[in-house]
Amino acid sequence: MEVTERVANPAKYRVHLHIHLDGAIRPSTIWELSRGDLAAIERVAFEFVEDEAGSAVLYTEPRFSPHLLVGAGGQVTARQVTEAVLRGLARGQQQFGVTARLLLCCVRGFSEYYDDVLEMCTEFRDKGVVGMDISGDEATATTEDGDMHSSEQLLQREIALFQEAARRGIHRTVHSGEAGPAYMVQIALDKMHAERIGHGYHVLEDEELYRRCIKERVHFEFYEDGVSFSVNVDDPTVIQGNMDSEYSLMRRMGFNEAMFATMNFNAAKACFLPENEKKELLKKICKAFGFPETY
């Protein structure tokens, strides 16, 4: 059954771009889940789609680091973990009508996995993986004296990795400007060729860069000055929230339905679906919110 058939208020249709699958495990499932259990990993992905459907999400792009779910014993591989997640997402999509695509995530501090993540993004690009991310502590990119402007030298491997991803036509999003300074956003855009920025809050510290991002319609995760943005839960199990609670909070902050409509339209435009599938998603969003189909 389609999400649009189950939701009474079509203005609730949502696009969810930034959510970590390994931060979205149901508490009731955690005790049963051990790393390396492929059946449990598939279940987590399936339940994730069910939970997204419950929050009226039409399209979702969960991300995770497959190597961190392999387990200490090494009985399974990162590829097997990725395949299990893709099976769970596909079953959930079929049962609940939510379109789900996957991002594979590098984690700063675990550079030994970077090349393998890139290869898996290439291998699974026609099987449900639509892009690559890098997350983790931006402080790992600082020098010992805290000089962030020297950090580019410490990011050379990440830069080369994302440049190769761009060469291969793999979509790219980068966690930057979350705790680190605006300079990290500039590196993500100019050196790593990021198409979206995860968080990006500290870009506000650099007025020139910020105005450039507005002009270029860089997709962020905060609302100010008409930027292209979307609301995302990130790690729902950790923060004990979901899209419904986020929307409720935003309403209390003064957001209205017109803002929600624009936000979801921009999120759909920024998603990593192939162009033909993206057009279909945009049609659904336009129909739900009464937009003319001019995109």
Active-site residue numbers? 178
3-class SS of residue 219: strand
Cβ atoms of residues 227 and 209 within 8 Å: no
List CB contacts of 201: < 8 A, sequence separation 6 or more.
177, 178, 221, 222
Cβ atoms of residues 122 and 170 within 8 Å: yes
Q: In whole angstroms, give the CA distance from residue 115 to residue 121.
A: 10
What does each C-alpha distance from 196 to 118, 171, 174 come to in angstroms?
A: 17, 9, 7
Helices (H), the chain: 3-6, 27-30, 38-54, 78-96, 114-123, 151-154, 156-167, 182-190, 207-215, 236-239, 243-252, 257-270, 275-289
